[in-house]
Amino acid sequence: MRMLRPLPLVLTFPAMLLDAYTQPVALLGYPVGHSRSPLIHNTAFQAQGLNYVYLALPVAPSDLKAAVGGLRALHFRGANVTIPHKEAVLPLMDTLSSQAAAVGAVNTIVCRRAEQEGPVTLYGDNTDVAGFLAPLALLAASLQEVDMLVFGAGGAARAVVYALLTTFRPARLTIAARNQAQAERLATAFAAYDTRAALRTMPLKDAAAAARTSRLLVNATPLGMAPLEDYTPLQTPASTGQIVYDLVYTPTRLLREAASHGAIALGGLEMLIGQAAASYIQWTGHPMPTEVVRAALQAGLQR
């Protein structure tokens, strides 16, 4: 069995003092040892001197309901939810954001209490949508009503397809996946948001022509991520005028080739930070100090 390397903790602030008033936030997943979220949120709490702590908690699927009940009982401020619980946690929420309801997955829980001793309500949100869109904000003008291509049809692709359909009104939005039936299910699930009949699907291996004519290419597969570092979903590198957005947050061949051929290359680290920032502000009321978090993540990724 491959041993997971402990993630380095970058402590550049005075150590946080935990006391009787510390507000806990959890990550519920299984496993959670790979997660960068504790580094992100604890770095931000420390940088802003907030009395919060973020804990990664491995929760087996059979324990999910009890774990969510524990958030209420133990006065957690909230939680992130990751694989494999993002869909299963949905019916355990009291209310949902429109994004969580549309995507069918929750990655953020906010524990809300109207009065000090009142009952807790659990609000489920999907900040992957906002996180994905964050790095595209400056490019939004060039993304209206153009052709787009998404590689992959899994959980991340759902948030991406919803975000693209509802934000940019694409002329054509192609979902290319090695399992075309899965791509078709995804297209069907979002048909209600496809007001321009932009969605179509195709096998990944046939996507070369669609890739050439798309302004935006999004990789929502693990191709490029260890142990698939040598792989890319694109047969021919993207070129000038195209925007390539890889959700993988380590540097990838796809992005290296895109940048060297004049395309705009966006890495998944920005989405990771964007989704975290959209959760953080809901728990703390403070905008996340993203520069400090980015530096901590980059230092962590280099080790």
* From 268, 282, 283, 293, residue interacting with ligand NAP (rule: CB under 6 A): 268
Task: Give the containing element (helix H, strand E) for 40.
Answer: helix 37-48
Name which of 90 and 157 has its Cβ closer to ligand NAP: 157
Does residue 249 belong to the site contacting ligand NAP (CB under 6 A)? yes
At its nearest, how many Å lie between ligand NAP and the CB of residue 95? 23
* From 105, 157, 173, 207, residue interacting with ligand NAP (rule: CB under 6 A): 157
Mark whether 205 is an active-site residue.
no
Find the part of the chain contacting ligand NAP (CB under 6 A) among 110-118, 195-203, 220-228, 279-287. 220-228
Closest CA to 120 of 67, 56, 54, 69: 69
Q: Round to whole Å and give the CA distance between 90 and 125.
A: 9
Name which of 70 and 222 has its Cβ closer to ligand NAP: 222
Does residue 179 belong to the site contacting ligand NAP (CB under 6 A)? yes
| 111 SS3 class | strand
Instruction: Copy the structure tokens of residue 232.
Output: 């890319």
Q: Round to whole Å and give the CA distance between 200 and 73.
A: 46
| 174 SS3 class | strand
Does residue 133 belong to the site contacting ligand NAP (CB under 6 A)? no
At its nearest, how many Å lie between ligand NAP and the CB of residue 84? 10
String marking each residue 14-53 x if it binds ligand NAP according to CB under 6 A: ----------------------------------------
Strand-pairing partners, residue 246, are 219, 267
- Residue ranges of alpha helices (H) inside the chain are 37-48, 64-73, 98-103, 128-133, 155-168, 180-189, 208-213, 253-260, 268-284, 290-302
Name which of 78 and 224 has its Cβ closer to ligand NAP: 224
Q: Round to whole Å and give the CA distance between 105 and 156.
A: 10
* Contact call for residues 40 and 9 (beta carbons, < 8 A): no
Residue keyed to tokens 């705009």: 264
Residue keyed to tokens 């869909």: 87
At its nearest, how many Å lie between ligand NAP and the CB of residue 87? 10
* From 68, 211, 223, 234, residue interacting with ligand NAP (rule: CB under 6 A): 223
Does residue 222 belong to the site contacting ligand NAP (CB under 6 A)? yes
Which is the catalytic residue, given 77, 86, 158, 215?
Answer: 86
Closest CA to 218 of 107, 132, 104: 132
Find the part of the chain contacting ligand NAP (CB under 6 A) among 20-28, 64-72, 110-118, 149-157. 149-157
Its sign, for the CA torsion 198, 204, 209, 212, is: positive
- Tell me which residues touch ligand NAP (CB under 6 A): 128, 131, 152-157, 177-179, 182, 204, 220-223, 225, 247-249, 268, 271-272, 275
- List, by residue number, the catalytic residues: 86
